[in-house]
Chain A
Amino acid sequence: MAKKTVSLPEKTFVPASYWRRLFALVVDIVLLDLFVYMQFSFMFPKTLSFASFKDLAPDQMNMMMMGAMILTFFTLLYFVYQEKTYGQTLGQRIAQISIQAPKEATWRHHLINNFFLIPFFPFLLLWIIEPIYMFVKKERLLETLSTLRTVQEEKL
């Protein structure tokens, strides 16, 4: 009987570690800060404290809100487009993690996966909820809702 050789896969995908995710996020935010956020710094005050926040005039508050919305748009565009098109952002590529999406995943799923980047209530609560959820379930709440997974390669 002829011998059959079975080739096993050399690597597999496992849930990305917390540190790789954090590193990727930091790299992406630094890039965005250098090339996008700083260009819109004229829309925000040079210094702002909680004491002075309540004393902002309506036109000052409107300018800040408009600035925040523009920055949110660019941030979401950066993350959602890269994750949908390339499976990973530049920061995730450097950290060697990627987004695994089912075939039926649409732009909406990728948008939901990045809701934590929206700096308005109630999305700000995700900064508290996500780490706690991840500590318990080993994946982010938004990943559960969007059916996407952040994974890293692991050699067998």
Chain B
Amino acid sequence: MKLWKFLLFFFLFALATSLFVRISTDGFKEGNVAVISIKGVITNERVLFETNAVSDDILLLIDQAEEDPQIKAVVFEIESPGGYVVPSEEIANKIKTMKKPTVAVIRNVGASGAYWIASATDYVIASKVSITGSIGVQSSYLDFAGLMRRYNVTYNRLTGGEYKDMGSPFKELSEDERVKLAKKINMIHQYFANEVAANRNISSEKMQEIATGEFYLGVEALELGLIDQIGNMDTAKKYLEEKLGKSVSYQYYNKYKPSLKELFTARLFSSSPVSNLEIKVQ
């Protein structure tokens, strides 16, 4: 048989086989429940060598899961100590707009901003000893003013606006500035607590007792109404099988893959920790 005849026969044989297999089977059945991971510090900044939960990426994955007709529910697998306020809020608000059932599974840690996200889902599952809760806000920073004074380093204050350098690590925080910052942090804290209270149907009086920034273990969170069940990913699977009335298989939605351009231009490491006023739910 000549070579070209063999190749033609070979490819036609492959085509016939693929048609036969396609008719005989359903092919690879993708999962019907999307699993979106929220791992690392919640931020809106993509940093190349750090595992962060980037809000833009997660919002894209949520849209993807909502648009996929094969996906019947979404599980958020959470392993995060929290992060920044705005990205945490963005993800939580996005989850609340979702039409498909949502479940949060808190693994080792799902605290502060990560718990805010979990509370926005329909059902929250955590292990007995998962670290969760920590419904609080912090903006603590190191004050180098004393150290600079010791080494005769002067901070030349040149500002337009009395409170422009409020929270600078190179000068002492005045009482007036402390009061102002505390007020802003309290406002954010109150907003955070109110959101969680609304998400979890907890009264505002009870939320005042819970939202002290204290973290809770899974068993404590269950008693307080912060989670719905003790368990893990298998527990979430059983819950969804009962809710959806069909068998469930997971489809892991991959993390964002940076383009070649982003590999060369992305920030390699996150910003210096000594920066002006970082307010975190972490």
- Give me the interface of A with B, judged by CB distance under 8 Å: 35-36, 39-40, 42-47, 49, 51-52, 55-57, 59-60, 63-64, 66-67, 70, 74, 77-78, 81-82, 85-86, 90, 93
Tell me the complex Cα distance, A35–B17, Å.
12
Contact of A57 with B249 in the complex, beta carbons under 8 Å? yes
Tell me the complex Cα distance, A93–B7, Å.
14
Number of interface residues of B (CB under 8 A): 24
How many interface contacts (CB-CB < 8 Å) are there between A and B?
67
Residue of A nearest to B11 (CB): A35
Q: Which of A39, A52, A86 contacts B251 (CB 8 A)?
A: A52
Contact of A51 with B252 in the complex, beta carbons under 8 Å? yes
Contact of A60 with B6 in the complex, beta carbons under 8 Å? no
Q: Which of B22, B30, B254 contacts A49 (CB 8 A)?
A: B254
- Residue B10 at the A interface, CB < 8 A? yes
Interface residues as binary, B1-44 with A (CB distance below 8 Å gives 1, 0 otherwise): 10100110011001101100110010111110001000000000
Contact of B25 with A63 in the complex, beta carbons under 8 Å? yes
Contact of B14 with A39 in the complex, beta carbons under 8 Å? yes
Residue of B7, B18, B22, B35 contacting most chain A CB atoms (<10 Å): B18
Q: Which of B1, B28, B251 contacts A42 (CB 8 A)?
A: B28
Closest beta carbon of chain B to A114's beta carbon, Å: 15
Residues of chain B lying within 8 A (CB to CB) of residue A51: 252
Contact of B14 with A85 in the complex, beta carbons under 8 Å? no
- On whether A35 and B28 interact (CB within 8 A), knowing A49-B252, A52-B250, A55-B250, the answer reads no
Closest beta carbon of chain A to B69's beta carbon, Å: 14
Residues of chain A lying within 8 A (CB to CB) of residue B25: 43, 63, 66
Contact of B27 with A63 in the complex, beta carbons under 8 Å? yes
Q: What are some 16 contacts across the A-B interface (CB < 8 A)? A: A35-B14, A39-B14, A39-B18, A40-B18, A45-B28, A47-B254, A49-B254, A52-B250, A56-B249, A57-B249, A60-B28, A63-B25, A70-B21, A78-B10, A81-B10, A82-B6
Closest beta carbon of chain B to A144's beta carbon, Å: 28
Tell me the complex Cα distance, A46–B119, Å.
31
Contact of A42 with B3 in the complex, beta carbons under 8 Å? no
Contact of A90 with B3 in the complex, beta carbons under 8 Å? yes
Tell me the complex Cα distance, A147–B21, Å.
37
Residues of chain A lying within 8 A (CB to CB) of residue B35: 52
Contact of B21 with A60 in the complex, beta carbons under 8 Å? no
Residues of chain A lying within 8 A (CB to CB) of residue B249: 55-57, 60
Tell me the complex Cα distance, A63–B249, Å.
14
Q: Which of B242-260 contact A (CB under 8 A)?
A: 249-252, 254
Contact of B27 with A43 in the complex, beta carbons under 8 Å? yes
Residues of chain B lying within 8 A (CB to CB) of residue A82: 3, 6
Tell me the complex Cα distance, A74–B16, Å.
12
Residue of A nearest to B252 (CB): A52
Closest beta carbon of chain B to A34's beta carbon, Å: 9
- On whether A46 and B252 interact (CB within 8 A), knowing A74-B14, A81-B6, the answer reads no
